[in-house]
Amino acid sequence: MNFIDMVESQMIASVHTEKSLEQALTSNVNIVFLLTGDLLTAGIYIERLQNAGKRVFLHLDFIDGLANSKSAISFVKETWGPTGIITTKSHLIKYASDMGLMTIQRIFLLDGSAVTKGIEMVNSSKPDAIEIMPGVITKVIDQLSSTLDFPVIAGGLITEASEVYEALRCGALAVSSGNPEMWELDL
């Protein structure tokens, strides 16, 4: 299955705390980006989310105790079994893809050169999707969604429904937000 086919709700829960994990379990979203946990809790969080029918993408850069290595990816896949991973690191995207995990490359678009570098990085690592930060820069969402052959997820600084709808109108496949109120949008 590819990333586009798994998106049922165009809203993605970005879970940063244990409290927001509880809210994500009963929300309308079918995809969760897990950005909290450590070696002792991440597997439990993933299992709970999966038991609630959610597809879980583990953000490797936020899990305390994980190294940025091939063996860490192998551990994540074999021990916790998430749907996939998110990271800013291209080499981890390649490792995870080689091991059969879905991948999302997160890129921060601070200026024009970051956009150019982001395009080069994505074309090199070939993730299943990209998440661009901040998600409120619709001009760049439009540019990337029409330039790249990868689904675009807009994330970061999204706090209002109007921002979600605008990002989708500009070509984002989905929008990730840490705001539980956004997870109840019927998209």
Helix 138-147 with 112-125: angle, nearest 10 deg: 30
pTM of the model: 0.93
pLDDT means over runs of 10, the chain (187 residues): 94 96 97 97 98 98 94 97 97 97 94 90 96 88 92 92 95 94 92
Per-residue confidence (pLDDT) for residue 103, from 0 to 100: 98
pLDDT, position 136 = 83
Q: Where exactly are the structural domains of the chain?
A: 3-178
- State residue 25's pLDDT score: 97
How many C-beta atoms lie closer than 10 Å to residue 28's C-beta? 14
Is the backbone peptide bond immediately before 82 cis, with ω within 30 degrees of 0? Answer: no
CATH class, domain 3-178, is alpha beta
